[in-house]
Structure 1
Amino acid sequence: MLGKQISFAVIAVVVSVIAAKELMRLAPRPDAAPQTAQIRPAAQPVAPVRAALPARMGETRISADQRGQFSTDAEINGARISGMLVDTGATLVALSYEDASAAGLFPAPADYKYQVNTANGVAHVARATLNDVRIGNIVVHNVEAVVGERGALSGSLLGMAFLSKLSRFSVESGALVLKQ
């Protein structure tokens, strides 16, 4: 039963990664001519916002990027992980091999026993438990995750294993609000 749940969770993570890649591919490039007339000040380049913005004690706000996605820097097991995509469609937290290594997670080769389909083909992931995940002034302990083999995942995702441990999360005025 647990094996099936993990398989479904991993599939959800992979589908989320693929969907995010497709949305990024389909989004207009900054150097492409806009399809509708827009007036923007030339001196102010638009940069992605990755930092979580503390609002109140136990609350953090993450601004949406140009595509309406929420990505943020996180601290996992004491290591800073940049640009994690917040994904409510992902069951678990999914870490790239590189981000997992930075967080001190080194699954044995035999641990990569769960297969998932990605845009790059079949990949293997290993289960892991994160001691703590910090975003802004919010800290969540004992978070379930999967770690992709080297090169299997291009980025890392914050899924429901993290979000469900919060008292609430919502989108308000273009920002994802996380409340502990």
Structure 2
Amino acid sequence: MLPKAFLLFMLPIAGLAVLRPDAFETLLGASGHRAQQQAAAVTPAATPAGGNGGYPSKRLYADRDGHYRARARLDGRTFDVMVDTGATIVALTWSTGLDLGLVRPGMTMDAPMQTANGRVLGKRVTIPRLEVEGLSVASVDAVVLPAGALSTNLLGMSYLSRLRRFEFAQNTLLLEQ
């Protein structure tokens, strides 16, 4: 027979295991989690998230600067994005917009945008289907900014708000479709 103190200690843990199986990743994997973070800082990767009721999801790990980076795809072409919940809209660099065929030289920039570097005119576009780490969203509003106005593509709320949910916890970002 097990001592009563052992049972009192294990009962809440067993309940936690049933209700929140992902909690043990935190409790038991502190050193393993650090190794994952260090690996992710070198190559930011997305991995399937478990225990989500069957919804497609991906887990992104923060890089050394605390940013979440991912690979996006449009019409078979891939490009890097940085998750930015402070960005109202998906914002693309001029070179990415050109490469994806969303803009062309000589187009009129007619959408005033406020960026971290000040006010700039961009070109509003609609991305027919944007896939990020395998999670696809149709008809995503975006803006292509002129050359030099943006150093990296930003995955803003026009994409993120269309997911079932996104959640930050312990240097991890869960995206769920």
Range class of TM-score, shorter chain: 0.5 to 0.7
- Distance 1:119-1:61 versus aligned 2 partners, 3 A rule: closer
User: Is residue 94 of structure 1 aligned with residue 91 of structure 2?
Assistant: yes
Structure showing greater relative contact order (alpha-carbon pairs closer than 8 Å, 6 or more residues apart): 1
In the comparison of the two structures, how many residue pairs are matched?
Answer: 138
Q: What letter matches 2:47 in structure 1?
A: L
CA shift for structure 1 position 53: 2.2
Counterpart pick for 1:155 among 149, 152, 158: 152
- Distance 1:170-1:107 versus aligned 2 partners, 3 A rule: same
Structure 1 gaps, min length 5: 1-43
Counterpart pick for 1:146 among 143, 148, 152: 143
Query: What do residues 57-101 of structure 1 show as CA deviations (whole Å, max 9, x unaligned)?
Result: 51011111112211111112321012x110111110000011112
Counterpart pick for 1:74 among 68, 72, 76: 72
**Aligned runs of 1:17-166 on 2, under 5 Å?**
47-55=41-49, 58-82=56-80, 84-107=81-104, 109-116=106-113, 118=115, 122-166=119-163
CA shift for structure 1 position 121: 5.9
TM-score (norm 1): 0.66
- Kept after mapping to 1: 8 A contact 2:41/2:62: no
Query: What do residues 135-170 of structure 1 show as CA deviations (whole Å, max 9, x unaligned)?
Result: 222111100000011222111100000001111000
TM-score (norm 2): 0.67
- Distance 1:101-1:53 versus aligned 2 partners, 3 A rule: farther
Most deviating of 68-77 and 88-97: 68-77
- Kept after mapping to 2: 8 A contact 1:92/1:159: yes
Whole-angstrom CA distance in 2 between matches of 1:52 and 1:65: 12
- Kept after mapping to 1: 8 A contact 2:40/2:61: no
Percent of residue pairs bearing the same amino acid type: 37
